[in-house]
Amino acid sequence: MTAAVQEALELGTVESHLHPEGSFDVDAHEVPKGREEIWRFTPLKRLKGIHDSAPFADGATKVEVEAAAGVSVETVAADDAVRGTSGLVPTDRVSARAWAASTGATVVRIPTDTVIEGATVIRHHGTGSETAGAGHAVIVAEKFAKATVVLVFEGSAVVADNIEIVVEDGADLTVVSVQDWADDAVHLSTQHAKVGRDANLKHVSVSFGGDVVRHDFTAEYAGPGGSVEALGLYFADAGQHIEHRLFVDHTAPKTKSNVVYKGALQGEKAHAVWIGNVLIRKEAEGIETYEENRNLILTDGAWADSVPNLEIETGEIEGAGHASAIGRFDDEQLFYLQSRGIAETEAKRLVVHGFFNDLIRQIGVPELEEKLTSTVEAELAKNINTLITKDNV
Amino acid sequence: MSTLEIKDLTVSVETEDGPKEILKGVTLTINSGETHAIMGPNGSGKSTLAYSIAGHPKYTITGGTVTLDGEDVLEMSVDERAKAGLFLAMQYPVEVPGVSVANFLRTAKTALTGEAPKLRTWVKDVNGAMDKMHLDPTFSQRSVNEGFSGGEKKRHEIAQLDILDPAFALLDEIDSGLDIDALKVVSDGINDFRARDGKSVLLITHYTRILRYIKPDHVHVFVAGRIAESGGPDLAEELEASGYERFTSAAV
Ligand SMILES: Nc1ncnc2c1ncn2[C@@H]1O[C@H](COP(=O)(O)OP(=O)(O)OP(=O)(O)O)[C@@H](O)[C@H]1O
Ligand SMILES: [Mg+2]
């Protein structure tokens, strides 16, 4: 057992909020007031009422699909049996409301035994933030299939959605969700994955734009040997609230999870929240888990909350650990670069790119790499002259 | 051509109990083409001197001057000092995760010369410099100093010295942590640099062994924040034979 596990065990009993009762009934979920554990970081006032009773209407986003050859993408009715196959049961009011309000679902299916070249991209273009939209998507990688699916969200919109991910036995699926919203967008997304025996899921969340972006990603395992890699990259600007809540539920033995989220924050009242929950159930012997969240605060006035939480019900595990950090530029790194003639702002740019580079490489979707690097660059350009170091805090 | 002149330099660091004076008046002139060795016991302030010249924000200059060909170095930002010709090889080179050596070197070279290096010769130059330091070409793709062994970090510093080609090299304990083979490789690198026209070197070391390979023109014994004695190469030989005791007891 690693030291981290020892430490987590010694923390004693944490009050568990990791496995709440879910319900499809909207009224079973009270309207959040802000003090609830799962809502305490979220600025409810800025949610345009979607956590309460604001009506949903169709057409909040225009959807464009670029399906890779061999992948089927279709729209099914809301009562189609495919909904719910990931095991998703809403555990909060927004998810339950989105479930009830959805008039259909987009189903992406990768057939058994097929390896798909290139990414399937589903682009959601927001058409305005006056009315809210509810969405539902189900991504199914059938047995031994291999594919990459990219969801892109852009423009102005208020959206609540449920995204289900089913990775059948032996399949290998990458799902990337890119939130490149306009400044006024509100997006609350519940993404739930069920990972089959010996299957791999790489789930990537990238958030740049939007007023409030909150993503809840949860994963459970349908059999032993499954693996989940959850990667996240975010850049919070002035006034932006970007929240990621992750929950990996190790429900089967010999499963793996690796969670790495990295974010940079800049500008007055830029706020990032990361909650990383991992539950290792009694039956989940021999599992391995690691979760990490790093925040780089680039300017004054920005802040981050980072809460890793490991709950362990069996000691029979391979390894478990977590790391969480909120820091500013490292003076030694900047000095080293500057002492080679690199100007301060350039040195800072290098360090930020370096901070994200490993992660961008791990995403492993070539179509995205360049775009992500240039978006990081564009974000940096906004504040490059006011970036702070530890020194002038 | 460059002359580095350090006059009555006093430097302090912030500690929990307020500022602590570390350099207590250092005066030293290094002319173009000269190699000076500064030798001193642990904690005497050798690194402080090197970092202060290079402009590390941790150190506060409380008095004295540092000029390079008459230009006030202390007024310059860290990168301006590098552009003026100073290079500091660090005792503990810093890791910069996610920034490749290739990108780092190219960015530095571009900053120093004001134009991007010519692609055709650049890759060859970098590979050549790495090869001379017995670092294989894959190092270019690795993150700066990340996961490098102690010796690899030092050899990487000298590869940088070769590529960035400053006028003035401050080498802070470049010999520490090197085995005898690596010490030879690093010394060869430094001697190659010295063989170039008008290059100056300030070699800071704790031990005399590197002076078997690099012959200094001047040797200074550094004790308790100041130069206790200066002399020729024979001073190093005395230190080799009898250690720092004569100087440290005098300083107390
Ligand atoms: N932040 C600090 N607080 C207190 N003392 C400090 C601080 N930073 C440096 N010093 C002290 O300054 C003195 C000089 O340090 P410096 O690193 O310059 O010595 P050095 O001669 O390079 O030693 P070495 O041979 O070990 O490299 C040491 O006594 C060190 O403890
Ligand atoms: Mg030192």
Best mutation site among B94, B110, B161 for testing chain A: the one with the most A CBs within 10 Å? B94
Mean pLDDT of chain A: 91
Interstrand relation of A303-312 and A319-327 (parallel, antiparallel or unpaired): unpaired
Q: CA geometry: angle at B146 spanning A376 and A228, to 5°?
A: 60
Contact B98 A354 (CB under 8 A): yes
> What is the Å distance from ligand 2's center to B11 Cα?
15
DSSP letters, A217-249, are: EEEEESSTT-EEEEEEEEEE-TT-EEEEEEEEE
Q: Kind and range of the H or E element at B116?
A: none
B84 touches chain A (CB under 8 A): no
Structure tokens belonging to residue B60: 């506060």
Q: CA geometry: angle at A93 spanning A87 and A96, to 5°?
A: 40
Contact B97 A331 (CB under 8 A): no
**Please, what is the end-to-end C-alpha distance for chain A in angstroms?**
39
A377 touches chain B (CB under 8 A): no
Contact B81 A339 (CB under 8 A): yes
Contact B87 A350 (CB under 8 A): no
> What is the Å distance from ligand 1's center to B42 Cα?
8
Confidence class of residue A15 from pLDDT cuts 50, 70 and 90? very low
pTM value > 0.80: yes
Ligand 1 in reach of B61 Cβ (< 6 A): no
Compute how many other C-beta atoms are within 10 angstroms of the C-beta atom of residue B60: 14
pLDDT at residue A11, as a whole number:
32
Q: Among all chains, which residue has been given the structure tokens 């479930």?
A: A99
pLDDT at residue A131, as a whole number:
86
Do the Cβ atoms of A262 and A225 come closer than 8 Å?
Answer: no
Does residue A3 carry a pLDDT above 70? no
Please tell me the number of the ligand nearest to residue B226's CA: 1
Task: Tell me the per-residue pLDDT of A33-66, one tens digit each, with 9 for 90 and over.
Answer: 999 999 999 999 999 999 999 999 988 899 999 9
B195 touches chain A (CB under 8 A): no
pLDDT at residue A5, as a whole number:
45
Contacts of B236 (CB under 8 A, 6+ apart): B37, B39, B208, B211, B216, B219
pLDDT at residue A331, as a whole number:
92
CB < 8 Å to B97, chain A: 354-355, 358
Structure tokens belonging to residue A108: 């992406």
A25 touches chain B (CB under 8 A): no
> Crossing angle, helix A366-383 and helix A344-363, to 10 degrees?
150
Structure tokens belonging to residue A205: 């969340």
Contact B108 A351 (CB under 8 A): no
Greatest distance between any 2 Cα atoms in chain B: 58
Contacts of B135 (CB under 8 A, 6+ apart): B152, B155, B156, B159
Greatest distance between any 2 Cα atoms in chain A: 64
Contact A335 B78 (CB under 8 A): yes
CA neighbor of A178 nearest in space, from A157, A207, A201, A203:
A207
Nearest to A357 among B94, B98, B160 (CB): B98
CA distance A51 to A31: 7
- What single-letter amino acid sits at A311? E
Question: Nearest CA to CA, how far is A153 from chain B (Å)?
Answer: 28
Q: Which residues of chain B have pLDDT under 50?
A: 252
Does residue A4 carry a pLDDT above 60? no
A391 touches chain B (CB under 8 A): yes
Structure tokens belonging to residue A291: 């979760």
Task: Tell me the per-residue pLDDT of A243-263, one tens digit each, with 9 for 90 and over.
Answer: 999 999 999 999 999 999 999
Does residue A393 carry a pLDDT above 70? no
CB < 8 Å to A351, chain B: 96, 99
Interstrand relation of A186-195 and A212-221 (parallel, antiparallel or unpaired): parallel
A323 touches chain B (CB under 8 A): no
- CA B227 to chain CA centroid, Å, is 17
Contacts of A283 (CB under 8 A, 6+ apart): A251, A252, A253, A314
A393 touches chain B (CB under 8 A): no
CA neighbor of B26 nearest in space, from B73, B66, B59, B57:
B66
CA neighbor of A272 nearest in space, from A357, A332, A205, A366:
A205
Specify the residue with its C-alpha closest to ligand 1, atom 17: B47
CA distance A124 to A63: 5
Specify the residue with its C-alpha closest to ligand 1, atom 9: B13
Task: Tell me the per-residue pLDDT of B55-114, one tens digit each, with 9 for 90 and over.
Answer: 999 999 999 999 999 999 999 999 999 999 999 999 999 999 999 999 999 999 999 999
Q: Which atom of ligand 1 is nearest to the CA of B45?
A: 18
CA distance B148 to B134: 13
Order of strands, edge to edge, in the sheet holding B86-89?
Answer: B86-89, B168-172, B200-205, B35-39, B218-223, B226-231
Task: Tell me the per-residue pLDDT of A126-142, one tens digit each, with 9 for 90 and over.
Answer: 998 888 999 999 999 99
Ligand 1 in reach of B216 Cβ (< 6 A): no
Specify the residue with its C-alpha closest to ligand 1, atom 28: B43
Please state the φ and ψ torsions of residue B161, each to the nearest 5 degrees: -55, -45
CA distance A315 to B173: 47
| Separation in Å, CA A170 to CA A42, A118, A305, A315, A353 | 37, 20, 36, 27, 35
Q: Which of B15, B17, B47, B203 to mutate to test the pocket of ligand 1 (most atoms within 8 A of CB)?
A: B47
Mean pLDDT of chain B: 94
Q: CA geometry: angle at B102 spanning B101 and B107, to 5°?
A: 100
Compute how many other C-beta atoms are within 10 angstroms of the C-beta atom of residue B115: 8
Contact B107 A350 (CB under 8 A): yes
Average pLDDT over residues A318-337: 94
CA neighbor of B87 nearest in space, from B8, B167, B22:
B167
Virtual CA dihedral for B68, B71, B73, B77, nearest 10 degrees?
A: -130
Do the Cβ atoms of A360 and B104 come closer than 8 Å?
Answer: no
DSSP letters, A127-142, are: EEEEEEEEEEEEEEE-
pLDDT at residue A150, as a whole number:
96
Give the ipTM of the model, two decimals please: 0.96
Do the Cβ atoms of B79 and A334 come closer than 8 Å?
Answer: no
Does residue A206 carry a pLDDT above 90? yes
B85 touches chain A (CB under 8 A): no
Q: Is the Cα torsion angle B39, B79, B64, B27 positive or negative in sign?
A: positive
b/e map B215-251, b = 16+ CB within 10 Å: ebebbbbbbbbbbbeeeeeebbebbeeeebeebbeee
> What is the Å distance from ligand 1's center to A382 Cα?
39
CA distance A313 to A192: 22
